[in-house]
Amino acid sequence: MSQNVYQTLEEVKLLPLYTATDLSYLPKVEEILVENHVPLIEVTFRSKLAGEAIKQLSASGKLLVGAGTVRTLEEVKIAIENGATFIVSPAVVPEVIEYCLEQEIPIFPGTATPTDIQQAASYGIKTVKFFPADIYGGLKAINALSGPFYDIKFLPTGGINEENFLEYIENPNVVGIGGSFILSEKVIMEDNGVKMNQILQSLVEKINKL
């Protein structure tokens, strides 16, 4: 399964960040992702519904469901118990990383500095989240960091949008990009997913033209 997550991210290039505040929209979330051939989602722990949302989205087996904003051992255990197949953290959290490695669950720790990246690399991690990408220098920073960290791939998140996401995706050091602009509960709520489906379809079409 771990290989599936990395391979799928490399192919799709998009990792939707989703915060669930209303579980009734989850069937629509799955429908939109499957229809647009984006079988990945990161459900953030910015909501108390995260565990249940992960469980429901994992049920059909159509999506690779991960947990995001995971900062504690308790959260990572809840995520994995509910079916999360990968974990994303906003920082390098040793106990979270160590637990994921024990469970053989892929972990993308959040990094912003050479110290962060080296700490993640010391665990054998080869793909790190770069967050917040815009604040910490964006592509210029990624290109500079990729010199000494030539064997590390980056998953930038933060400040990436419909206007600049292709620049990141085209960078050879970037495995894919994360963002809430890819899939938003708020936008889905507006018209039961019609607009959201169109937005995601447009993003995928732009990637396919590269």
Counting Cα atoms < 13 Å in the Cβ hemisphere of 175 gives 18
- Residue 94's CB: how many other CB atoms inside 10 A? 11
pLDDT at res. 209: 96
Across-strand partners of 102? none
Q: How far apart are CA 170 and CA 191, in angstroms?
A: 32
Would residue 129 show up in a list of annotated catalytic residues for this protein? Answer: yes
Average pLDDT on 50-63 reads 98
Distances (CA, A) of 3 to 89, 97, 208: 19, 17, 22
Q: Which two tokens stand for residue 17?
A: 């960040």
CATH number at residue 56: 3.20.20.70
Out of 13, 55, 75, 129, which one is annotated catalytic? 129
- Which residues form the domain of 53? 2-208
- Our answer to whether residue 13 is catalytic in this structure is no
pTM, two decimals, is: 0.97
End-to-end CA distance of the chain: 28
DSSP per-residue string spanning 12-40: H-EEEEE--S-GGGHHHHHHHHHHTT--E
Q: What would you measure as the largest C-alpha separation in the chain, in angstroms?
A: 47
> Per residue in 163-172, pLDDT tens?
999 999 999 9
Provide the number of structural domains found in the chain. Answer: 1
The answer to whether the CB of 175 falls within 8 A of the CB of 15 is no
Interior/surface letters 63-84, b for 16+ CB within 10 angstroms, e for the rest: bbbbbbbbeeeebbebbbebbb
| Active-site residue, from 42, 75, 153, 185 | 42
pLDDT digit string, tens, across residues 101-110: 999 999 999 9
Q: How far apart are CA 54 and CA 82, in angstroms?
A: 6
pLDDT at 11 over 80: yes
